[in-house]
Amino acid sequence: MRSLPTIVKTELLAESGYFQIEALHLEFSNGQQRVYERLRGTGYQSVMVVARPDPAHVLLVREYAVGVEQRVLGLPKGGVDLGESYLAAANRELQEEIGLRAGRLTELGQLTLAPGHLCHSYQVVLAEDLQPCPALGDEPEPLEIIKVPISQVARLVACGEMHEARAIAALFMAMNHLSTFDSN
């Protein structure tokens, strides 16, 4: 296995409340040098929740995504508050975004987002045994909640209705976990 490149120099190019843009001057093991830019977070942690109200369905949300300037079909998600665990954050986000609380939460793993340019990951959590428990959140408008048969997720992706890669990957992780669990 090759060694990691050496970071020769790091430059801060710009900064906001959420991000820093850095230029990294790298030297690779073969002597090649390159400069890469990356978007570095400020320690912000996130969760994405696959909410399973029953064995055959998942709950999706449609909300406005400013990056693509359209409403996007995805999963409940949000930030982890200081001192909060991923599981507690997942349950809080469920309550705030879809008005439900999970009796059983399972961490499925982490996903990175554009790791060539962005220093951020999401913890994916499977939420089951859902009960009503609404909480006031920070959403600017109520989210559209859509109950979808798990068997229809691939169709939603194939027809372009669902195209948020994070949500698709999280659903894949959940479906894999559930099929492994169900076959044992």
Condensed to tens digits (0 to 9), the pLDDT of residues 124-183 reads 999 999 999 999 888 888 899 999 999 999 999 999 999 999 999 999 999 999 887 555
Backbone phi, psi, residue 127, to 5°: -115, 125
Are 48 and 125 spatial neighbours (Cβ–Cβ below 8 Å)? yes
- Write down the pTM of the prediction: 0.88
Helix (H, G, I), strand (E, B) or coil at 6: strand
CA dist 8 and 26 (Å) reads 6
Query: How would residue 8 be classed by pLDDT, with cut points 50, 70 and 90?
Result: very high
Cβ–Cβ < 8 Å for 120, 44: yes
46 DSSP β-pair partners: 79, 122
Tokens coding 89: 């954050």
Q: How far is CA 34 from the centre of its chain?
A: 30
- Domains annotated on the chain, with CATH: 6-41 (no CATH), 46-183 (3.90.79.10)
Mean pLDDT of the chain: 92
